[in-house]
Structure 1
Amino acid sequence: MIVAMKPHPNRIAKSISLLSLVLVAVTASAGNGLNVLMIAVDDLRPELACYGASSIHSPNIDRLARQGVRFDRAYCQVAVCGASRASLLSGCRPETTGCWNFSTLLRSKMPDVLTLPQHFKQSGYETTFLGKVYHSPSDDAPSWTLKASDWAPSQPGKGQSYVNRKPIGGAKTRKRDDPSTKNGPSNENGGNVSDDMYTDGHNADRAVKIIERFADHDKPFFFAVGFLKPHLPFNAPGKYWDLYDRASIEIPAREDVINGVAYANSSWGELKNYPDIPRNVKYLDDDKTRELIHGYRAATSFTDAQVGKLLDALDRSGQRDKTIVILWGDHGWYVGDFGVWCKHTNYEIATRVPLIISAPGVEPNRSSLSMTEFVDVFPTLCEMTGLEVPDHCQGKSLAPILADTSTRIKEAAFSQYLKKKPGGDQMRGTSIRTDRFRYTEWRSVKTEKLDAIELIDFENDPGATCNVADAPAYEDILPKLAELCAQSKAGI
């Protein structure tokens, strides 16, 4: 039975009312609460066919998009996996979580926070996860009612990282900036191997078994499945590599930094730690660039196929008509754009993410241009399932948009990142994205002193190549953007 919805200050009454009535009717007919299947994908940028990338083979994610609502202007809070996931699953911005990197556990900073899966657990749901949901599988132990391994244990010899080579011994003892730190190359064409030889393929098969078990379960479920690819290394069976012609891959423009922007370059992130990546070069050459883009696309299609297995299992189990399915990528990713690789900035490519929600009673095959953020996911799933929205949540429910995709719920989306200024202080970049602009302030973490302002005008510069903060034409707009930027401190 659905509990009464808590009044929420961000609700648009008419839209919420219509959506709520539909969801209540569906739930009442099902005899229990709506299930939630959450699919998290590592390093997935919104370069999918459903987002307009016709060169990408993504039929299953495209199918999900046709079944629900695609958010075209969705942004993560921090472009690094651990911090991004901590923000989404806590409903809090990074200045609240204290999580800024991949390794900091949410519970080490917020031991008593009521997380998204924990809220569902306390509301009578069966909760479990498989794969990479938090960055560390040990984070947030109080949130789960059962171990996935109890229902679907891993199988010996399956679920490998590489299938064509033996790992390089002793990798963990090497220095982080040593190019041999990683135990294999940056990508691998697995050839004629089955999907389950790789970790994501094996986990997809295990997730199917868990979905089947839930079909005969009394409680509604909250099941989070996290796929690793297309995170480095770009490893996938050969059939996914065969979907793409490497020779036809275009090389992105190679500006090493955005003109006039102080902190844009991500310095290649973890890519530099793979033994096949050349050192001390400004750009990767065309052959290596095409090889890596080919690998990223193959890995994306590999994960897309695993998503399809989950959707098919949900359909077969008879649970699709009482299950919310939400898919997100934890942050964006550079594939040679501006000569840059990985993420590790608070700019457009690193922070824009795919976000798709499909649910009973939600009109399918629609898209929204409303600014949305990962902190919005927590209150959204609460509203959709009739759970109270905890007071600590700093986002806004997307339920009004699901009812009417023309609805706008906020003026801007926030993203932040920490970066040390060469020879100077640790700097915190706070970036806001509006319909037209990306405005960024860099301030000293210690003193809050403003160090730099950046302004990208996407209307006149869709490639985001020029900082126009000092241009006289934008003098009047800067105070308004600065005011919006300051609201990140208030958790708005």
Structure 2
Amino acid sequence: MPCGFRLPLAWTFATVFALAAGPRTLPAAETTETPRRLNVLFIAVDDLRPRLRCYGESDVQSPNIDRLASEGVVFHNAFCQIAACNPSRASLMTSRRPDTTTIFDNSRHFRSVLPDVVTLPQQFKRHGYFTQSLGKVYHGTFRNDKPHEDPRSWSVLEWRPNSVLYATPEGLAVLRRLHPKQLGDSQASVLEGMARRRYKGLAWEAPDVPDNAMFDGRVADKTIETLREIKDRPFFLAVGFVKPHAPYVAPKKYFDLYDLDSLALPPNDRLPRDATPLSHNDSAEVRGYEGVPASGPILENTQREIVRAYNACVSYVDAQTGRILDELDHLGLRERTVVVFWGDHGYHVGHNGLWGKNTCFDAAARVPLIVSVPGSPAAGEASEAIVELVDLYPTLCEVCKVPPTDGLEGTSFCPLLSDPDRPWKRAAFTQHPRPLRGADSAMGRSIRTDRYRLTEWTASRLEKPVYELYDYRDDPGETVNLADHPEYETLRKELTTQLHSGWKSARPLGPPGDGAAGNPNVPLFPPYKTSVHISKETTTPDVDVPASR
């Protein structure tokens, strides 16, 4: 049985006979293969940091995600490969790291670089699974006339509801005032404009509307409907929620869960001492919204409004997750469905004095990850092992007995799902360009061990690399950059060597793969570069058929 799991007796023998028959190549609609295989429910959440009850945070109400955590393994040290939506998702879904995909911002589709790569859902589709995408799974453009997903990954084209950014008269009026040429002066034109593009208006809003008046509630509705339709076939169902991505808009009842005056603000609200300017950004992602100053200090009351609104969005997504899990139970699918709950990257909500993502700090690089497998002896346990989002592809293949493709750059952590405390990876690797676009951007490449993070910034305009070094045991808030402290020189050099040795040298001994595990001579990066060019062009592959609605 996979990874030592004990499969439910009711379907163990059916699964054995199904797997003995080998993979099917028939289209999903024609396959006659038994459905008694492990399904996958793959829940993606945008901009979600791991500040949930199941991660020990008492200020966020997330009972449904916590319930899932009690049925799975919670990974406390899971990291993304780059803290930006499109690059992170491209990396996860292909199990290729950003230096391989060369996707560093939201402007390009991974197929423009890797046209023949086989994605995670595509591999499941090749082996007899019905695969479908609901909501935001890849990045996409949120334009009805220009879907930006990946049709090869899915048995049917992706489904997304119309984008609903704002739902109050005030919110719509602000949009009209800020974007008069693009949106016109009528409510109808504003609603039509929101469906085409994500315009910035109010930073937060609490409309008194039902859950399914907004994007994520509609995604949950569609997921429940789809589960009822596909329950009798093996499926890989990817579900993507857009909240808590800004603007922080959720139904009013979720705002009412939080008292503004009692909300805790981050204890570390300033940049680390001695940090390089390359380490941070201007928080333009949040400052571009109405109600947040474009520059300068953000007043404490405004910070509290942002924190409450962000938390409300998390609770809104939690409720939608609970509805889906309830339906999974109602349909009797839970005992044969792997549930994966993940965030595409973390998020600064005032931590380090920053608001948003796009850094190599832990606040942006560390992600929530919960994996629940039927029959796992480790259900309800937490793992401190280091894992990466790029590992999900090989892990799910191993759990579901789907052969992995060649060239994957992640490592299956399947053994951790039955033994969360076993020794595992020595480090995780994250990177980010600075600035986000430009012909001569610096690149920050970062290694995170169980105690330290070292980030190396390189660019042709720099005479030599610039370093950051943080000690999370003694300084969990990342308040001091230790890289230039003389007493840390030896450690900095050791971590730099480990960074250059690469991700293969950091893998656990003896994982499945090409035998390079533990070899410090295998490089992480292609020929080492001091600068990277990031295209400003938007490349979207043509799609012959519009996305279903």
User: Structure 1 length normalisation: TM-score?
Assistant: 0.88
- In structure 2, the partner of 1:375 is 390
Give the C-alpha shift of residue 22 in structure 1: 4.6
- In structure 2, the partner of 1:196 is 212
Give the C-alpha shift of residue 467 in structure 1: 1.1
Give the C-alpha shift of residue 214 in structure 1: 1.2
**1:386-433 deviation per Cα after TM superposition (whole angstroms, max 9, x unaligned):** 011222111110101011011232100110000039999411101111
For residue 214 of structure 1, the aligned residue among 230, 244, 250 is: 230
Aligned-partner Cα distance in 1 for 2:103–2:10: 39
**1:270-305 deviation per Cα after TM superposition (whole angstroms, max 9, x unaligned):** 212212222232x21011111010100000000000
Structure 1 position 431 matched with structure 2 position 465: no
Aligned-partner Cα distance in 2 for 1:325–1:120: 15
- In structure 2, the partner of 1:264 is 279
- In structure 2, the partner of 1:164 is 168
**1:219-256 deviation per Cα after TM superposition (whole angstroms, max 9, x unaligned):** 30000000010001111111111111100112334654
Structure 1 position 144 matched with structure 2 position 149: no
- In structure 2, the partner of 1:81 is 85
For residue 315 of structure 1, the aligned residue among 326, 329, 339 is: 329
For residue 407 of structure 2, the aligned residue among 381, 392, 401 is: 392
Aligned-partner Cα distance in 1 for 2:202–2:121: 36
Counterparts of 1:223-372 in structure 2 under 5 Å? 223-253=237-267, 255-262=269-276, 263-281=278-296, 283-363=297-377, 364-372=379-387
User: Structure 2 length normalisation: TM-score?
Assistant: 0.79
Structure 1 position 18 matched with structure 2 position 4: yes
Aligned-partner Cα distance in 2 for 1:224–1:348: 26
Aligned-partner Cα distance in 2 for 1:424–1:113: 27
Compared CA separation, residues 421 and 405, structure 1 to 2 (3 A): closer
Give the C-alpha shift of residue 183 in structure 1: 4.3
Give the C-alpha shift of residue 127 in structure 1: 0.5
For residue 47 of structure 1, the aligned residue among 48, 51, 57 is: 51
- In structure 2, the partner of 1:113 is 117
**1:298-355 deviation per Cα after TM superposition (whole angstroms, max 9, x unaligned):** 0000000000011011111111111000000111111112221001101110110000
Amino acid in structure 1 at the alignment position of 2:136: K
Give the C-alpha shift of residue 474 in structure 1: 2.2
- In structure 1, the partner of 2:486 is 472
Q: Report if aligned partners of 1:78, 1:415 keep a CA contact under 8 Å in 2.
A: yes
- In structure 2, the partner of 1:186 is 203
Alignment size in residue pairs: 460
Aligned-partner Cα distance in 2 for 1:344–1:132: 19
- In structure 2, the partner of 1:129 is 133
Q: Report if aligned partners of 1:371, 1:408 keep a CA contact under 8 Å in 2.
A: no
For residue 490 of structure 1, the aligned residue among 524, 527, 541 is: 524
Aligned-partner Cα distance in 2 for 1:436–1:164: 46
Q: Report if aligned partners of 1:332, 1:349 keep a CA contact under 8 Å in 2.
A: yes
Give the C-alpha shift of residue 104 in structure 1: 1.7
Q: Report if aligned partners of 1:420, 1:427 keep a CA contact under 8 Å in 2.
A: yes
Aligned-partner Cα distance in 1 for 2:461–2:374: 49
Aligned-partner Cα distance in 1 for 2:244–2:75: 20
- Alpha-carbon RMSD: 2.5
Aligned-partner Cα distance in 2 for 1:224–1:43: 17
- In structure 1, the partner of 2:535 is none
Give the C-alpha shift of residue 184 in structure 1: 2.4
Aligned-partner Cα distance in 2 for 1:67–1:450: 49
Structure 1 position 100 matched with structure 2 position 104: yes
Give the C-alpha shift of residue 67 in structure 1: 0.4
SS where residue 476 of structure 1 aligns?
A: helix
Aligned-partner Cα distance in 2 for 1:419–1:331: 17
SS where residue 224 of structure 1 aligns?
A: strand
- Tell me which moved more, 338-347 or 82-91: 338-347
Compared CA separation, residues 173 and 371, structure 1 to 2 (3 A): farther
SS where residue 270 of structure 1 aligns?
A: helix
Q: Report if aligned partners of 1:266, 1:341 keep a CA contact under 8 Å in 2.
A: no
Q: Report if aligned partners of 1:37, 1:325 keep a CA contact under 8 Å in 2.
A: yes
Give the C-alpha shift of residue 448 in structure 1: 9.3
Aligned-partner Cα distance in 1 for 2:67–2:300: 33
Amino acid in structure 1 at the alignment position of 2:37: G
Aligned-partner Cα distance in 2 for 1:171–1:421: 24
Aligned-partner Cα distance in 2 for 1:273–1:427: 24
Q: Report if aligned partners of 2:385, 2:423 keep a CA contact under 8 Å in 1.
A: yes
Compared CA separation, residues 279 and 323, structure 1 to 2 (3 A): same
Compared CA separation, residues 91 and 447, structure 1 to 2 (3 A): farther
- Tell me which moved more, 364-373 or 139-148: 139-148
Aligned-partner Cα distance in 1 for 2:466–2:431: 14
Compared CA separation, residues 477 and 278, structure 1 to 2 (3 A): closer
Give the C-alpha shift of residue 29 in structure 1: 4.1
Compared CA separation, residues 491 and 38, structure 1 to 2 (3 A): farther
Q: Report if aligned partners of 1:382, 1:388 keep a CA contact under 8 Å in 2.
A: yes
Amino acid in structure 1 at the alignment position of 2:493: P
Structure 1 position 63 matched with structure 2 position 67: yes
Compared CA separation, residues 238 and 224, structure 1 to 2 (3 A): same
Q: Which runs of 4+ in 1 moved over 6 A?
A: 421-424
Q: Report if aligned partners of 1:71, 1:354 keep a CA contact under 8 Å in 2.
A: yes
Give the C-alpha shift of residue 102 in structure 1: 2.0
- Tell me which moved more, 36-45 or 249-258: 249-258
Amino acid in structure 1 at the alignment position of 2:114: M
**1:358-393 deviation per Cα after TM superposition (whole angstroms, max 9, x unaligned):** 011212100100001011000000000101122211
Compared CA separation, residues 320 and 203, structure 1 to 2 (3 A): same
SS where residue 249 of structure 2 aligns?
A: strand
Q: Report if aligned partners of 1:159, 1:203 keep a CA contact under 8 Å in 2.
A: no
**1:137-161 deviation per Cα after TM superposition (whole angstroms, max 9, x unaligned):** 5232111112465xxx96xxx8632
